[in-house]
Copies of this chain bind each other. A is one copy, B any other.
Amino acid sequence: MSGYDIKRLLKSLGWLIDGPSLGNIYSTLHALCDERLVSVEVIPHENKPPRKVYSIKDEGRRALEEWANRPAPPKMSLKAFLMRLVLAGSFSQDKLMAHLQQRRAQVDAQRTALQEAATALGESADSLRLAFDFGLALAATELTWLDSALIRLSQQPLPLEVVQGN
């Protein structure tokens, strides 16, 4: 993809993840190029600035896999988790499921902690309480989503890339 393409894709995910600025994307891409992790193909357009299409190289893929398999920090944010999911999900189904299970444990722990903090707060019912309620609802949603994702994945044993060709 080009830098601009990347920006658009990430934008389509809305508030789910941080939308890095274009400046950031371009300079990261340059750095990645210097490190020989990605390759560029310059496609010249007539008197437009040439489109630069980047592709990940084998070494880059290895580095990405290494990154994806690093143990997740215990306090990983939603955004960070989703970023990992999107970038690392295409490696192996086992890894993906392990990832989801790990996340499940963390979210469950967070939910208990949140519940305790909320009850410790008492029945004050102000805006802080609203925030806690929201947090609990979020945690519940994420847990059911994780469970259904895990079930779906365990029912279709082959990674879809193999089946569908991409």
- Give chain A's interface residues, CB within 8 Å of chain B: 12-16, 75-78, 82, 85-86, 88-90, 96, 110, 113-114, 117, 124-128, 130-135, 137-138, 140-142, 144-145, 149, 160-161, 164, 166
Contact = CB atoms under 8 A, between A and B. Distances in A.
Binding site secondary structure of chain A: helix
A126 B14 contact: no
Contacts of A12: 113-114, 117
Q: Which residue, A14, A96, A114, has most C-beta atoms of chain B within 10 A?
A: A14
Given A12-B117, A15-B110, A138-B142, 4 more contacts: A14-B110, A14-B113, A89-B126, A90-B127
B15 A77 contact: yes
